[in-house]
């Protein structure tokens, strides 16, 4: 991914936070059958390894787990929001007309090495933690114990665990940092009014720039 200096996000804690807040990633592999992409929720263990470890699972019927071998390089893309930016939102456009449309976005690329974990204990742990995390906001959180044991046993046998040891993190926050603060603010306010969360991030950066 090309990252211009003013859009680079180098801080590991920020990148980890973006992954945790946007856990539905795109896992890109290049196995025996060539390039493939799978869209799956992943759990980040930030304290494992130097840069963290990602844990997930796929259906046993998914050829991914047999198409790759342990140690293969993979890439996981986490998208944290995007938005079209109209030049009409920039105050300077109405003075000079020297602005054009663009697209802003926040994304994290986690490079790593994959390891297939075809063991029941690992799979159950991944399922339990993902469930606990994503059910936490529910009025009555569902847990694995709510379903019949034999039903869960059957489902566990139908999935395979996936572990990705992160070797490199690349973050890009393209939020109009190459524009004047007032133009960042104008576009940020327009997006916020439309309910796009990128607007809040732009307003925060504009305030820092002012």
Condensed to tens digits (0 to 9), the pLDDT of residues 37-52 reads 999 999 999 999 999 9
73 assigned to some structural domain:
yes
The answer as to whether 94 is a domain residue is: no
Q: How far is CA 209 from CA 83, 92, 100, 170, in A?
A: 21, 16, 21, 23
Q: Is residue 99 part of a domain?
A: no
Per-residue pLDDT tens digits for 199-210? 999 999 999 887
CB 202 within 8 A of CB 184: yes
* Tally of domains within the chain: 1
Asked whether residue 121 is assigned to any structural domain, the reply reads yes
Position 152 scores a pLDDT of 95
Per-residue pLDDT, 93: 80
Low-confidence ranges of the chain (pLDDT < 50): none
Residue 208 domain-assigned (yes or no): no
The Cα angle at residue 53 between residues 82 and 118, in degrees rounded to 5: 110
Q: Which two tokens stand for residue 93?
A: 């456009």
The pLDDT, as a whole number, for residue 209 is 80
Structural domain includes residue 183 = no
For residues 130 and 143, give the distance between their C-alpha atoms in angstroms, rounded to a whole number. 10
| pLDDT at position 210 | 73
Helix, strand, or coil (residue 188)? helix
Give the CATH number for residue 161: 2.30.110.10
pLDDT of residue 81: 96
pLDDT single digits (tens) 147-172? 999 999 999 999 999 999 999 999 99
Contacts of 156 (CB under 8 A, 6+ apart): 120, 123, 124, 127
Range of the domain at 110: 5-82+104-175
Nearest to 40 by CA among 69, 73, 65: 65
Query: Residue 196: helix, strand or coil by DSSP?
Result: coil
Q: What is the pLDDT of residue 140?
A: 95
Say what the pTM is.
Answer: 0.94
């Amino acid at each position: 991914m090309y990252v211009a200096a003013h859009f680079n996000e180098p801080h590991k804690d920020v990148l980890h936070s973006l992954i945790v807040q946007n856990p539905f990633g795109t896992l890109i592999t290049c196995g025996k059958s060539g390039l493939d992409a799978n869209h799956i929720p992943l759990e980040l263990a930030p304290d494992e390894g130097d840069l963290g470890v990602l844990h997930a699972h796929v259906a046993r019927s998914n050829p991914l787990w047999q198409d790759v071998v342990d140690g293969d390089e993979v890439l996981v893309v986490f998208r944290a929001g995007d938005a079209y930016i109209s030049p009409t939102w920039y105050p300077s456009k109405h003075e000079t007309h020297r602005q054009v449309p663009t697209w802003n976005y926040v994304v994290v690329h986690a490079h790593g090495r994959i390891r297939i974990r075809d063991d029941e204990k690992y799979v159950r742990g991944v399922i339990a933690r993902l469930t606990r995390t994503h059910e936490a906001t529910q009025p009555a959180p569902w847990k694995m114990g709510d379903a019949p044991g034999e039903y869960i046993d059957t489902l566990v046998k139908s999935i395979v665990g996936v572990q990705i040891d992160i070797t490199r993190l690349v973050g890009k926050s393209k939020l109009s940092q190459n524009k004047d603060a007032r133009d960042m603010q104008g576009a940020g306010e327009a997006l916020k009014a439309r309910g796009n969360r990128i607007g809040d991030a732009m307003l925060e950066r504009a305030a820092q720039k002012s």
